[in-house]
């Protein structure tokens, strides 16, 4: 069975860039972008933060897909905006899997700067700051938090791959 890397953090923090870099460094891996799964729904699409969204089926599809790849021996790198409660649920679902969990964070100036580098249609603007504050107030275990504002992309990838502290244990978080 493969290993599972789950990366989360606010929009614009670098989840996609870092996840892709991790997946490229692993021998047999798959990159699963939560946004890609969420945006598969076309008819009756509702943004994830609004009432009437389709997060229930989204999570079922993501969990099944992650399991299929893990059972086939792939390391899975998954990223999405994940609440602390949802992560605890995922940790329990994948309790028999080597699981690394990382909350990527940066300061307000950095997140807005990174967001502006995105194509206009993908920019989150002030929503980045709302999400950043939600993550800062979620009280994640410090072992899972990685501030990347002073790290290069390669340093961030190295830190996640090589540091054992990001492995989850059932008794913390």
Has residue 85 been placed in a domain? yes
Instruction: Residue 84: give its domain's CATH number.
Output: 3.40.50.300
**pLDDT per residue over 25-39, tens digit each?**
999 999 999 999 999
**pLDDT per residue over 125-173, tens digit each?**
888 898 899 888 888 888 999 999 899 999 999 999 999 999 997 554 4
Has residue 171 been placed in a domain? no
**pLDDT per residue over 72-126, tens digit each?**
999 999 999 998 889 999 999 999 999 999 999 999 999 888 888 888 887 888 8
* pLDDT at residue 173 in the model: 45
Q: Please report, for residues 88, 115, 125, 168, the alpha-carbon distance to residue 22 in angstroms, rounded to integers and kept in the order given.
A: 23, 21, 26, 18
Ranges 13-17, 65-69, 83-87, most confident:
65-69
Has residue 28 been placed in a domain? yes
Q: How far apart are CA 54 and CA 104, in angstroms?
A: 25
Has residue 123 been placed in a domain? yes
Has residue 16 been placed in a domain? yes
* pLDDT at residue 1 in the model: 82
C-alpha 127 chain-centroid distance: 17
pTM of the model: 0.90
Has residue 173 been placed in a domain? no
Report the number of distinct structural domains present in the chain: 1
Domain span at residue 149 reads 4-166
CB burial class (10 A; 0-12, 13-18, 19+) of residue 147?
Answer: middle
| 82 neighbors 124 (Cβ within 8 angstroms) | no
Indicate if the pLDDT at residue 50 is higher than 60.
yes
């Amino acid at each position: 069975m493969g290993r599972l890397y789950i990366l989360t953090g606010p929009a614009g923090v670098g989840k996609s860039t870092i996840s892709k870099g991790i997946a490229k460094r692993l021998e047999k891996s798959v990159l699963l972008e939560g946004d890609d799964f969420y945006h598969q729904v076309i008819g009756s699409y509702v943004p994830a933060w609004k009432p009437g969204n389709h997060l229930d089926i989204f999570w079922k599809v993501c969990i099944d897909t992650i399991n299929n790849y893990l059972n086939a021996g792939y390391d899975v790198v998954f990223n999405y905006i994940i609440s602390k409660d949802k992560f605890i649920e995922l940790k329990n679902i994948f309790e028999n899997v080597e699981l690394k969990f990382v909350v990527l964070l940066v300061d307000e100036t950095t997140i807005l700067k990174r967001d502006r580098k995105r194509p206009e249609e993908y920019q989150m603007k002030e929503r980045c700051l709302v999400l950043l504050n939600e993550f800062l107030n979620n009280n994640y275990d410090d072992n899972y938090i990685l501030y990347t504002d002073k790290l290069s992309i390669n340093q961030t990838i190295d830190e996640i791959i090589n540091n054992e502290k990001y492995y989850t244990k059932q008794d913390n978080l």
